[in-house]
């Protein structure tokens, strides 16, 4: 157990629907990162939050949004889902959100299947 908790583990939904993925960071970590992993693209950075504020943004679609709450858990909202959004979504956390010598601690991921 890495200490980063992601729920749900699996999600199957229809095109056009909206889902919310949840992440609780490792105790003491202030920064949360969201990554998308597909077979052909590898791990793609979506967005980073640090202590409740957006810190960095990657190639995140406008249909996707995220937030980090005062208790530091984070949610990734995916709307108007398309077949191509099917992927593994990982949350990771780190202590400072700057440079951390041990990189990020990853959760086990949420497997999203859009049908």
Partner 1 sequence: EDQVTQSPEALRLQEGESSSLNCSYTVSGLRGLFWYRQDPGKGPEFLFTLYSAGEEKEKERLKATLTKKESFLHITAPKPEDSATYLCAVQSSSGNTPLVFGKGTRLSVIA
Segment 15 to 34, residues that bind partner 1, using CB under 8 A: 33
Phi and psi at 85, nearest 5°, equal -80, -10
For partner 1, which is the closer residue by CB, 61 or 79? Answer: 61
Segment 44 to 73, residues that bind partner 1, using CB under 8 A: 45, 48, 55-56, 58
b/e per residue, 36-45, with b = 16+ CB within 10 A? beeeeeeeee
85 secondary structure, DSSP code: G
Among residues 41, 73, 75, 77, which is the contact residue for partner 1, using CB under 8 A?
Answer: 41
The answer to whether the beta carbons of residues 17 and 82 sit under 8 Å apart is: no
Segment 76 to 105, residues that bind partner 1, using CB under 8 A: 90, 92, 97-99, 101-105
Contact residues for 26 (Cβ-Cβ < 8 A; gap 6+)? 2, 3, 4, 93, 105
- Number of amino acids touching partner 1 (CB under 8 A): 26
**Residues within the interface to partner 1 (CB under 8 A):** 2, 4, 33, 35, 41-43, 45, 48, 55-56, 58, 90, 92, 97-99, 101-109
């Amino acid at each position: 157990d890495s200490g980063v908790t992601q729920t749900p583990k699996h999600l199957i939904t229809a095109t056009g629907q909206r889902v919310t993925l949840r992440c609780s960071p490792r105790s003491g970590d202030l920064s949360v990162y969201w990554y998308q992993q597909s077979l052909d693209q590898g791990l793609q950075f979506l967005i980073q939050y640090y202590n409740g504020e957006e810190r960095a943004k990657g190639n995140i679609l406008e249909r996707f949004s995220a937030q980090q709450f005062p208790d530091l858990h984070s949610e990734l909202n995916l709307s108007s889902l398309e077949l191509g959004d099917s992927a593994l979504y990982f949350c990771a956390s780190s202590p400072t959100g700057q440079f951390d010598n041990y990189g990020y601690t990853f959760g086990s991921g949420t497997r999203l299947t859009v049908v």
